[in-house]
Amino acid sequence: MNVQSWTLQEILLFSNNVDMFNQEQQLFFFKLLLKSLPHYQSYNRAVPVYASLLANLLPTLFRKQEWADISQALGWLEELSKEFTSSFFRIVFLYYSGLFAICQGDTIAGEKKVL
């Protein structure tokens, strides 16, 4: 299975069924798929697909305490959720960025984002 050749539909299928994979497989596919994100970033149909992928994988990243991957995922989610059509993903970004700040010891800033 060559992840780099997945279509947007296959990426969406994985994103929506990510919990069917164990955490190690989720992280493996996440890291491979993240490499293709810059190529699709300006393609309007790809934005919700990749935003869904990031939103669905963030809980796993937090459970595994993959801080560098969380930071990278949040950076991409922030970028992908700038348009008004992506407001749901903006809310997801704000929540997880607040949770990330709390986990990193910045409780006050984190609570401001989460609450």
Whole-model pTM: value is 0.86
pLDDT reported for residue 3: 62
Q: Are 42 and 62 spatial neighbours (Cβ–Cβ below 8 Å)?
A: no
Q: Are 87 and 55 spatial neighbours (Cβ–Cβ below 8 Å)?
A: no
Q: Which residue has the higher pLDDT, 8 or 76?
A: 76
pLDDT tens per residue across span 18-51: 999 999 999 998 888 888 888 887 888 889 999 9
Mean pLDDT over residues 94-114, rounded?
A: 88
Q: Which residue has the higher pLDDT, 93 or 2?
A: 93
> 53 pLDDT exceeds 80?
yes
Query: What are residue 21's phi and psi, to 5 degrees?
Result: -100, 150
